[in-house]
Structure 1
Amino acid sequence: MTDISIPTPDFARNMRLIGHSPIGGRGDGLQLMVHRGYAYVAHPWSSGFSIIDVRDPKRPGPVTYVQAPANTWNIHLQTHDDLLLVIDALDLFADVQSFAGEKTYYTQSVGETLGESGGRARERSWDAGMTVYDISIPDRPRRIGTLRIDGIGFHRIWYVGGRWAYASALFTGFSDYIFVTIDLANPARPEIAGRWWLPGMHTAGGETSTALPGQRFGMHHAVVSGNTAYAAWRDGGLTLLDVSNHAEPKLVAHRNWSPPYGGGTHSPLPLPERDLLVVADEAVLDHEADGRKHVWVFDIRQPTNPISISTFPIPDDADYTRKGGHFGPHNLHENRPGSFISETLIFATWQNAGVRAFDISDAYHPRETGALVPPAPTVMTDRRKDRPPVIQSADVFVDRAGLIFATDYNAGLSIIEYGG
C-alpha cells in the first residue's frame, strides 16, 4: 500500500505541500525530471534511480527502482520524448579513503584527489559515461545504448531533444570535469564530438592549474540556448561557449567572482527573450563556512561582456546559518521544453531553507514570492559521516501545470502548489 501521508512543513508562505513520496524507502534524491506523469529521481546514495507515478500528485503511486552497476552512481539524468539519459560515474562518496570528509570533495580537484590527472587510470571497477534508455513505456525503462569513456565518468547532462547533448566529463589526464558535446544521431551508439576546458585542466598534457589553494576548477554543467552553452565551473566561474560547431566549442566570455566570493558556481539559467542569465552558486559547507552564496542576475545583451546587475534576496524567515547543513542555493528550475517556462518567475532550491520562488520582473530588484521548507527527514540515507538530520532540498522541477516537485538528500519527493 502506498504511503500517502503528507508531513507538515517547517515553514510555508504562498506555497502548500500537497503530496509526498518516500520513493519506496529510498528517500535520497538529486536530479529530478517529471515527464508524462512520472517523476524520474536520481539517487546519490541508493545506487541507481527511481521512477514514481505522479499522475495523481496528491497520491503518488508505485515506484520502479533501477539498480546502478557496481561502484557506480547515477546522480543526474535527462528525459525527452522516448529517451532517458542517465550518467554513469565512479561513486565518489562511497570512496571513503579519498573523500573521508565532505570538504575534500568540494575544495580540491577530483582527478588529482583520485590520482587520475596524471594520465594513468586506476583499475576500472565502475561504469563511466552514459546509459540510454527507451521510456516509451514510462515506468519500464529499456536499455538501448551506452557511451563509455576513460576516467571517472560523467557528472551532469543537458538534453532537450534533437541530435546533440552536452555533459560534464572527467577523463583520465584531466584535473576535473570538462565540457563535452555528444552526438546522439544514433541513440544506441552515442559519441563524444567535442571538448572544451579551462586552461590548466589538461594536466597530462603539461598544463598547470591556476586554481588557488582550496579551490576546485571543474564544470558542474551547462544549459544550452541557441548556439550558446552557459557553463558553470564551480570555483572557476562562468563561461559562455559558442557550440555552433559541436566538434570545436569556442570561448565567448569567461567571468569568475571567486575570490572575493566563495565560488561554487553551479546552476546557469539563460532567459533569452530578456537577454538575461541567472546563475546560482552552490553552498557546499555547513553553517556558511564557505561564505554566503548568491543567485546572480547577469545582463547578457553583449555576450562577450556579461555584467552582473543584481542578486536574489537571502531567505530570512529563520536563522538558517545556525540550523545545520548547507544554507544557500543549489539548483534552479531550468525552463525545459514541456515544463513550466517563465522568464520572470524563478524557482530555486535553497538546501536547509527549502524551495523558494522569486519574481524578477524587475531584474534589478528580485523579490521572493513564495517559500516552503519541508520537515526534517525521519530516516538518513546520506551515509557521509556526521551529516545533520535537516532538510537539504536538492533539485526542483516545475511541470507545465505549475506544480513544483522537489527532491531532498534524505526526505523523499515533495509535491508543492504555488499560490501565484
Structure 2
Amino acid sequence: MSSQSLPAADFSKNMRLIGYCDQGNRPDGVQLMVHHGYAYVGHMFSKGFSVIDVRDPRNPAAVNYVSAPPDTWNIHLQAHDDLLLVINAKDMFAATEFQDERAYYSGALGEKVGTASRTSTQRHWRAGLAVYDISRPDTPFEIGFMSIDGGGIHRLWYTGGRWAYASALLDGFTDYIFITIDMSDPRRPVEAGRFWLPGMHAAGGETPSWDTSRRYGLHHPIVHGDTAYCAWRDAGMVVLNVADRTAPKLVVHRNWSPPFGGGTHNCLPLPERDLLVVLDEAVLDNQADGEKFIWVFDNREPSNPTSISTLPSPNEIDYAAKPGHFGPHNLHENRPGTFVSSEIIVATYQNAGVRVFDIRNQHEPSEIAALVPPTPSRLVDSRQGRPLVIQSADVFVDANGLIYSTDYNGGLYVMEVESWR
C-alpha cells in the first residue's frame, strides 16, 4: 500500500503515519518484533503469526503466515540473531469460559483452565516454546520445541545467548509463574529454574494469602544483567536475582493494588538513571477496572524501589467514554539493537493510540507526541459484544526511531515522530 492510500489518523500530535499493512487480511495483532527488515506479528484471533516485509517501511507487505496448532495461541514472540521464539498456549479468548473478558482478568487462571489442581491430563492445545530458524527472514521453520505440562507459556524475554525467560502456566500452580530456559541448544530448549509467589503452588498444598478474586500471575519479565524485573499483574512488581538461573531469588516485591487497580504489565529498567518505568494495563472497557497509570520508580536502592511520578494520561477527548479499553497496554522495551533511550518512553494506550513521553525530568514527565489510528474497517475479535474501535496493543521502535504498532483488529501501523524534543 502506498503512502497516498494511507488511512487517516483520528488524532495526531508531532507524529505522522507513514505505512500500513493489513497483514495479509489478518489485521489482528499482539506482540511484534522488527528484525533484519521483517516484522513478526503474533495474532490474537487469526491464530499463528505473520511475517511482514518492512524493508521499505512506507510499503510494508505480508510475505508469510505460519499457522498455529489447533486450539493454540501464538500471541507473543521474540527475535534475536537467526532465532524466533514463539509461545504456544491454550487459545484463551476462543474458550467458552473467557468470552466475558472479566473472567480472564480475575481470579486464579489455572483453576479456570483446569490446570491448578491437576498434574497431567489430555490437552487439546500445544503448550510450550517453539524455536524457529529465521536465517531466511521471510521463511521461518521450526527447529525445536520445549513442551510443558499445563496451559502454556504467555510471554518471553530473549535477547540472545544461553538464557531465555518466560511466564508459564504449569500444572499444579494457580497462575503463571517465572521460569528460566536454557537455550544452549536451540533445538532442545530446557527449563532450568522457576520462581513463584508463596501461595501459588496449589498442588504443593500452598494457599493464597491474597484476595482470590485478583490475578496473581506473572505477565512477563524484562531481564537486565542478573536481575529480572517481573510484572506480576495484580501482585505488582517482583524483582528477582537470577545470577543462578537454576534458583532465582526474591530481591523485593512491591504492590500498589489496592488502592490502584492492578494489571501490572511491564517493568522496564533504566539502569543508567537508576529508574524503573512500570506500566499497569487497562483490561476492561470504560475504565471499569479504574484508571491505570505508567509509573516512574526511583531505584537507587534496589531493595526499596519508590514511585515518584506517573506519566500523563491522554486527555484531548474523554477516552474513558469512548468504546473499548482506555489506558496503557504496552511499552517499547529497549531491546538491544532497537531504539534504546533512558529519556523517551513509547507506549500504547489502546483506544487512545500510541503515546511518546519525555522523562528527562523524572518527577514531571510530559507527552511530546501522539497518534490515534482510525477505527478498524472490520471486527476480527471473535468474542461477542466487542466494540469496533482502535485498541493499539503492542509497540516496537526500531534503531532509526520508526514506531511500529499493532491492533486487535486494525493491522500494522508504521509511524514517525516529527521532533523528539
* TM-score bucket of the superposed structures, by smaller chain: over 0.9
**How far apart, CA to CA, are the structure 1 residues paired with 2:218 and 2:362?**
26
**How far apart, CA to CA, are the structure 2 residues paired with 1:179 and 1:5?**
44
Identity of aligned residues (%): 61
Which segments of 5 or more consecutive residues in structure 2 lack a partner in the other structure? none
Map of 1:383 onto structure 2? 382
Map of 1:57 onto structure 2? 57
1:14-413 matched pairs, under 5 angstroms: 14-96=14-96, 98-413=97-412
Write out per-residue CA displacement over residues 117-169 of structure 1, whole angstroms, 9 at most, x where no aligned residue: 11244421111011000000001001110000000010000000110000000
- 1:331 aligns to what SS in structure 2? strand
Which segments of 5 or more consecutive residues in structure 1 lack a partner in the other structure? none
Map of 2:416 onto structure 1? 417
**How far apart, CA to CA, are the structure 1 residues paired with 2:76 and 2:113?**
21
Following superposition, the deviation at residue 62 of structure 1 comes to 3.4
**How far apart, CA to CA, are the structure 2 residues paired with 1:251 and 1:150?**
25
Amino acid at match of 1:344: E
Number of residue equivalences: 419
Write out per-residue CA displacement over residues 343-397 of structure 1, whole angstroms, 9 at most, x where no aligned residue: 0000000000000000000001100000000001111111111111010000000
Amino acid at match of 1:247: T
Write out per-residue CA displacement over residues 7-36 of structure 1, whole angstroms, 9 at most, x where no aligned residue: 000000000001000001000000010001
- Maintained 8 Å contact 2:84/2:132: yes
**How far apart, CA to CA, are the structure 2 residues paired with 1:67 and 1:4?**
32
User: Structure 1 residues 2 and 62, CA, compared in 2 at 3 Å: closer, same or farther?
Assistant: farther
- Maintained 8 Å contact 2:108/2:212: no
**How far apart, CA to CA, are the structure 1 residues paired with 2:73 and 2:276?**
30
**How far apart, CA to CA, are the structure 2 residues paired with 1:321 and 1:266?**
20
Following superposition, the deviation at residue 114 of structure 1 comes to 1.8
- Maintained 8 Å contact 1:2/1:62: no
**How far apart, CA to CA, are the structure 1 residues paired with 2:311 and 2:384?**
32
- Maintained 8 Å contact 1:3/1:21: no
Return the TM-score normalized by structure 1. 0.98
**How far apart, CA to CA, are the structure 2 residues paired with 1:362 and 1:2?**
39
- Maintained 8 Å contact 1:283/1:327: yes
- 1:23 aligns to what SS in structure 2? coil
Amino acid at match of 1:19: G
- 1:329 aligns to what SS in structure 2? strand
**How far apart, CA to CA, are the structure 2 residues paired with 1:201 and 1:3?**
50
Amino acid at match of 2:260: Y
Write out per-residue CA displacement over residues 46-73 of structure 1, whole angstroms, 9 at most, x where no aligned residue: 1100000011111112331000001111
**How far apart, CA to CA, are the structure 2 residues paired with 1:62 and 1:142?**
17
Amino acid at match of 1:400: A
- Maintained 8 Å contact 2:3/2:18: no
- Maintained 8 Å contact 1:280/1:295: yes
- 2:384 aligns to what SS in structure 1? coil
Amino acid at match of 2:296: V
Write out per-residue CA displacement over residues 255-299 of structure 1, whole angstroms, 9 at most, x where no aligned residue: 000100000011111101001000000000000000000000011
Following superposition, the deviation at residue 115 of structure 1 comes to 2.1
Amino acid at match of 1:297: V
- Maintained 8 Å contact 1:4/1:60: no
Write out per-residue CA displacement over residues 300-332 of structure 1, whole angstroms, 9 at most, x where no aligned residue: 111111100100001001110000100000100
**How far apart, CA to CA, are the structure 1 residues paired with 2:403 and 2:265?**
21
Following superposition, the deviation at residue 5 of structure 1 comes to 2.7
CA RMSD of aligned residues (A): 1.1
- 2:245 aligns to what SS in structure 1? coil
| More off after superposition, 54-63 vs 16-25 | 54-63
**How far apart, CA to CA, are the structure 2 residues paired with 1:10 and 1:259?**
34
**How far apart, CA to CA, are the structure 2 residues paired with 1:231 and 1:78?**
17
| More off after superposition, 113-122 vs 28-37 | 113-122
**How far apart, CA to CA, are the structure 1 residues paired with 2:3 and 2:196?**
46
Amino acid at match of 1:236: A
Write out per-residue CA displacement over residues 202-231 of structure 1, whole angstroms, 9 at most, x where no aligned residue: 001000112314311000000000110000
